[in-house]
Amino acid sequence: MLSELANAALSGLAEQGMLAVGVLQEGSIAWAGWALLLMFGLETQAAAGRHFLSLVAAEDREGVARPLDEGFNAGNASISFRGLRADGTPFDGELAGVALDLPGGGAGVAVAVRDVTEQRRAQARLSYFALRDPLTDLPNRGLFFDRLGQALVAARRNGGKFAVLVGDLDGFKEINDRYGHEPGDALLQAVAKRLRAAVRERDTVARIGGDEFSALLTRASSAEDASVVATRMVHALDAPVIIAGRPCQVGISIGIARYPVNGKDM
């Protein structure tokens, strides 16, 4: 269908891994480069005549169908979609295209597909760690204040109540000074797990400083509710933490502030 020269050029680019390209006619694959076949796990014969939308996850087909129908002539930039390999394995893809006149008459679309799965995973990891304390994996100060801001907006809108607990460890500095930073870091990690287990699933526990932790209790409607959770956090550290065979005992002092009783802004 393509001229021999165009076919050779596109195949050469695909084989070099530069493009995963194909040509569609009425939405079906009329020609597919080597890289496109490899990306979708297709044999040449299986690809020929296959509708491109069958390689797109069901929830993304409508968004892909429109630019394909329009021949990417309505200012469509590359679009993101969830692709499906022949064995059903999904991947994150980006699709770009351009309309073209096919030899012998008829309209077609030349498409180029990129597999951006690893790129998206890397971006997700970066986004995750930007909002997490790298030592304890708890939300960091930035994420805590973001969630606190959201809680304030929701409470103002709905007349709700919530509580913030702020605490710092008792005895941590002495242990850190005596045994060094590595055991101190291990102790903070163990403390973080215990504090997280002491609150409810919907609550947020964050590390906001060296040995400072905060909890956002979005459903604490009374002083008693907040006090119960704070007491559980205190008792979570009753038992010593064993670090490198040594029992390390720390406590936590916690203050409680409630919205709107004790304040109406961050």
Q: pLDDT tens digits, residue range 204-243?
A: 999 999 999 999 999 999 999 999 999 999 999 999 999 8
Cis ω on the peptide bond leading into residue 260 (within 30° of 0)?
yes
Q: Does the pLDDT of residue 246 top 60, yes or no?
A: yes
At 201-215, the pLDDT tens digits run: 999 999 999 999 999
- CB–CB of 111/120 below 8 Å? no
Q: Which of 60, 211, 225, 265 is the catalytic position?
A: 211
AA identity, residue 54: S
Q: Is 211 a residue of the active site? A: yes
Whole-number pLDDT of residue 2? 47
Q: Does the pLDDT of residue 90 top 80, yes or no?
A: yes
Mean pLDDT of the chain: 89
Residue 55, burial from CB neighbour count under 10 angstroms (0-12, 13-18, 19+) = buried
Q: How many CA atoms lie within 13 A of 74 on its CB side?
A: 8
CA neighbor of 190 nearest in space, from 218, 217, 169: 169
At 37-84, the pLDDT tens digits run: 999 999 988 899 999 999 999 999 999 998 888 877 755 578 999 999
Q: Give the CA diameter of the chain.
A: 84
At 132-165, the pLDDT tens digits run: 999 999 999 999 999 999 999 999 999 999 999 9
Q: What is the three-class DSSP state of 171?
A: coil
- Rounded to whole angstroms, the Cα distance separating 72 from 21 reads 15
Q: Does the pLDDT of residue 33 top 90, yes or no?
A: no
